[in-house]
Structure 1
């Protein structure tokens, strides 16, 4: 495995130009620019993001999910209250997000406080999802033992029938969350390893400062 790993190419995407001196004062504006550039470059599923949390015992956990919104309040996602991430955030409401856009050799890292947006926002998020997505959420019991894949598919089939019969049905355990960033890092990779790292940090007053850091 060691030889295989070392034989694989790295930083093989098409590097985009980036002038950190010309970056906007608001990191969310820069995120919007970088996200649009990723979409234009054909990056597959650029809204996929790794969410890292830690439980009451400090043990970290990470998983990939889909970003649902980004705006002045922060980065939004949703999950089942019974999921591991929701359980972690209930006791330790800090989170980290990482976007990796390999085709353009860019990474964005976000850290901040996570907030549950409440029942109304959670219901709106759930109902905005496709019937298949709503049925999948309705059918599952996150983290519980599963007897077989057939059992899973039977549960999802039954849930889809219920969603079709009750289009206004909302899963009570569904939760919408937002990560309010206090730091964002924009990482532009380079084949010569002179990677550019631009870090924004939010002050106690709410304003942003930015600086370059060594790779």
Structure 2
């Protein structure tokens, strides 16, 4: 009988079939190719394609990572939001160098982004906050993300108070809420191949120009 540990090794990967990646047709700007790939992920019904792993560095130089939601993408970068009082917010304040990793297994595609997280202005951050659902806003207003929770009742009581505050003042915004833009320096697109002949295309920003180069699998 196989154990769970046996199944880890035996689990199949990269079974395909996968979309083609005509590298000679890749656009000159990485965000344009990203948006093309994102649309492909949507077309293939990939669940939550906007989910991304954000990696940061803490004050001891140790890496940290978590999955969150990307809010927007344009020629200036990739956008996400968080409380500046959260662990990731404090880590970004200490060291703004971050990495984003998207993985869409159904199409065998991964996008890796390295760059710097920059705070957007107060109005942009407030606008992002007010677009969140009531429950998400109420939880953010607690300003206690990653703090030790005594028990679930403590959370439920605080949440009820947060919801009450929003109902009384619908335009209430958390003062710690920040919309961040990741200004990319490197963006790598990885296309899986069933025979492991993967394709890797890397964009690197040099002197305000994006250079492209193929990498060995």
Q: TM-score range by the shorter chain?
A: over 0.9
Q: 1:149 to 1:14 in 2, by over 3 A?
A: farther
CA distance in structure 1 between the aligned counterparts of 2:106 and 2:125, rounded to whole angstroms: 33
CA distance in structure 1 between the aligned counterparts of 2:115 and 2:46, rounded to whole angstroms: 26
| 1:17-28 matches, cutoff 5 A | 17-28=20-31
Partner of 1:209: 211
| Aligned match for 1:93, one of 81, 92, 96 | 96
Cα contact 2:17–2:194 (8 A) shared by 1: no
Partner of 2:194: 191
Cα contact 1:136–1:159 (8 A) shared by 2: yes
Give secondary structure in 2 for the equivalent of 1:6.
helix
120-129 or 65-74, which deviates more: 120-129
Q: How far is 1:25 from its partner?
A: 0.7
In structure 1, runs of 5+ residues without a counterpart are none
Runs ≥4 residues deviating over 6 A: none
Partner of 1:48: 51
* 1:98-145 alpha-carbon deviations (Å, 9 max, x no partner): 001011110000000111112222111111212222112113502211
Q: How many residues align?
A: 214
| Aligned match for 2:37, one of 34, 39, 42 | 34
| Aligned match for 2:129, one of 126, 146, 157 | 126
Q: CA RMSD in A?
A: 1.2
CA distance in structure 2 between the aligned counterparts of 1:46 and 1:13, rounded to whole angstroms: 18
| 1:6-155 matches, cutoff 5 A | 6-155=9-158
Give secondary structure in 1 for the equivalent of 2:7.
helix
Q: Is 1:173 aligned to residue 150 of structure 2?
A: no
In structure 2, runs of 5+ residues without a counterpart are none
Cα contact 1:12–1:103 (8 A) shared by 2: no
Q: TM-score under structure 2 normalisation?
A: 0.95
CA distance in structure 2 between the aligned counterparts of 1:126 and 1:179, rounded to whole angstroms: 18
Q: 1:154 to 1:14 in 2, by over 3 A?
A: farther
